[in-house]
Chains A and B, each alone.
Chain A
Amino acid sequence: MPRVITYAEAVNEALRAEMLRDPEVILFGENVSSSWRPATKGLKETFGRERVRDAPITETAFIGAGVGAAVVGMRPVVELMLVDFGLVAMDQILNQMAKTTYMTGGEVNVPMVLRCIYGAGGGNAATHSETLTGLYAHMPGLKVAVPSNPYDAKGLLIAAIRDPNPVAFFEHRLLGRMEGEVPEELYIVPFGVANLVREGRDVTVVATGRMVQEAAKAADALKGEVSVEVIDPRTLVPLDEEAILRSVGKTGRLVAVDEDYERCGFTAEVAAVVAEKGFRSLKAPVARVANPNTPIPFNRNLERHVLPDADKIVRAIKSIVK
């Protein structure tokens, strides 16, 4: 009987396993020792307050400390309580963490994981709800993982910790309680390999993070009417372009979905990849479902209004499948 645990428990299991395997794996951030936070619960008790370390609320200092510890060969996992808070630390993230490997000509590298808790849907307004995956994916030198389910959360996090490059690892705040089958043993979900979530013939939906669930709901809602293929890239950098192009080659239609801002966001990147390399497969214009370039409003009705969901994905599919 397969074991079912939550997304947060899967993250916890990956951290625990890697910390057991490698004494150079360390964890720090705001409140990582707290017992009420399921992704890190119990780790301090097992590994001690030296390796599982609460940091003062100073993102620049502790993310920079992660970069430094990685430069000298440790494997820091740094938690960014909310990805929005990382905006005060952009130099350490987008300059030092991302570029040091290249700038030093490979003299040093930065095997660091920045766990970014992200996402809207909780009524938390514009500075506690963002996605920002596009911002991170934009900067050369960062890998970006966006696990959409517990199985991927564990396998991708283990891969991220073992990766010699800096990885921004995006965990959606509303996925923490999502349940799924997760093997007890260690396994890796490799970066750059997309997951075929639903097979279909008429349209390809490329969705990331929590939007994978919404895309799957849309596919189910259209069953018997439109045959929808859902692709979860799992990692935005590196991106499994092959899987996307193969699917669009079959369906001839593309809907790109994510929770980030639409302008210059990941959905634009997917559309560009298909326009450049799969144009002749297209039977219809590309459609996108993303945040319509507004900050996240506090009011729940307004928030729902701007947040992508299954209904909006259904409408986008119908607009290009005649």
Chain B
Amino acid sequence: MSLGISDERLLDLYRVMFRIRTFENGVKQLIDEGKCSHVSLSMGGEAVAAGVSAHLTAEDQIGSTHRPLGHLVAKGGDLRRMMAEIMAKSTGTNRGKGGPYHIFEKGVGALGANGIVGGSVPMCAGYALANQLRGNGAVAVSYFGEGASNQGGVQETLNLAACWSLPLVFVCENSSPEVQRMLGHEIDYPQLSIDNVGDRGATYGMPGATHDGWDVEKVYTVAGEAVDRARGGGGPSLLEFKIHRLDADEESQYCPVRCFRDRLMSRGVLTEALDAELRDAEVGRVMEAIDFAVGSPEPELIDAHVGVFVEDG
């Protein structure tokens, strides 16, 4: 036990984090082999996705970003249909017409990835508004990065959520805590004029805080408080998690999966045998997803014209 988290829950968190990492490793391999287009991966953010989604059910909604795979996997996304979408197959979540930047899976509340930086954030206010009006106790979580945190729409939505006291948790993954610039964007000026995006919560009248995003137990604990607050009618919160984007499954002191495994091993919650068993199961699931995607048909050309509108009635 640590921070009041049961061993069973700790292992669940580890399993989800490892699933995300394995899924993205699989995607990376497909990219390297030229079997799918570029996909923005989320390596380094596994603890945030797993720690937040552990508090959510299928009735709760998330809105995600152009690095969505971790969020979607943690929310319970179907690995096979997601992998098929990444490969642009007709069996994909979006029938091959959206790609990884636009994956939606309604049944698990994954609504959805978004190709526009900050684009999903206002929509999350709508999910939260619907929850509030329906009185169903559901909560929306809006993921975005430190770059998006400067977008007008994100700041407008922070204000709107506070004005309407929406059941909405804003989760900012700050992936460039030292350099204050977005990964891969070589610019001479910083993205942010402040150190902590979490500080902006106060200016919109909601709790805001900044935490280490590579520590899943920390994420789990503070996300639980924010989700409970939203669910109980207490309104929105802003959580910032500092993370380090990893380019690959690398050895890093900031690798959330590795940090957590070491910690669980040292506490005796995880053993080598259990770890191997758990890893084999997840690798098997991802292999099955890849097989499904590879074996799925391309969309028909006629499908390009279908679905601009849904049929009436």
Contact = CB atoms under 8 A, between A and B. Distances in A.
Interface of A: 26, 50-51, 53, 55-56, 58, 60-74, 76, 88-89, 91-92, 95-96, 100-109, 140-141, 143, 163-165
29 contacts: A26-B129, A56-B163, A58-B159, A58-B160, A60-B156, A60-B157, A61-B156, A62-B122, A64-B157, A65-B122, A65-B123, A65-B129, A67-B123, A68-B63, A68-B129, A69-B129, A69-B130, A70-B126, A74-B133, A88-B152, A92-B122, A95-B116, A95-B119, A96-B116, A96-B123, A103-B104, A163-B312, A164-B311, A165-B310
Contacts of A67: 122-123, 126
B111 A72 contact: yes
B126 A103 contact: no
A109 B125 CA distance: 17
A141 B308 contact: yes
A69 B140 CA distance: 11
B153 interface: yes
Given A58-B159, A91-B153, A105 B111 contact: no
A106 B125 CA distance: 22
B22 interface: no
Contacts of A91: 116, 119, 153
- The B contact surface, by secondary structure, is mixed
Contact of B153 (A61, A74, A108, A163): A61
Contacts of A55: 160
Contacts, number: 151
Nearest to B162: A56
B82 to A, nearest CB: 12
B130 A74 contact: yes
Contacts of B144: none
B275 to A, nearest CB: 35
Contacts of B157: 58, 60-61, 64-65
B310 A64 contact: no
B64 to A, nearest CB: 13
A78 B42 CA distance: 35
B160 A104 contact: no
Contacts of A66: 126
B90 to A, nearest CB: 9
Interface string B45-61: 00000000000000001
Most buried by B among A58, A76, A88, A107: A107
A214 B235 CA distance: 51
Interface of B: 61, 63, 92-98, 102, 104-106, 111-112, 114-116, 119, 121-130, 132-133, 140, 152-153, 156-157, 159-160, 163-164, 307-313
Contacts of A88: 152
A61 B61 CA distance: 17
A53 B164 contact: yes
A104 to B, nearest CB: 4
Contacts of B106: 107-108
Contacts of B111: 68, 71-72, 108
Nearest to A104: B104
A163 B310 CA distance: 9
Nearest to A58: B156
Contacts of B308: 101-102, 140-141
Contacts of A105: 92-98, 307
B186 to A, nearest CB: 25
Nearest to A26: B133
B104 A56 contact: no
Contacts of A163: 312
A163 B309 CA distance: 10
Contacts of B123: 64-65, 67-68, 71, 92, 96
A104 B313 CA distance: 19
B133 A64 contact: no
A104 B102 contact: yes
B92 A72 contact: no
B125 A65 contact: yes
A102 B307 contact: yes
B170 to A, nearest CB: 12
Contact of A71 (B93, B94, B126, B311): B126
B119 to A, nearest CB: 6
A67 B96 CA distance: 22
A51 B63 CA distance: 23
B98 A104 contact: yes
Contacts of B312: 163-164
Nearest to A67: B123
Given A102-B307, A103-B98, A105-B97, A64 B159 contact: no
Contact of A106 (B96, B114, B310): B310
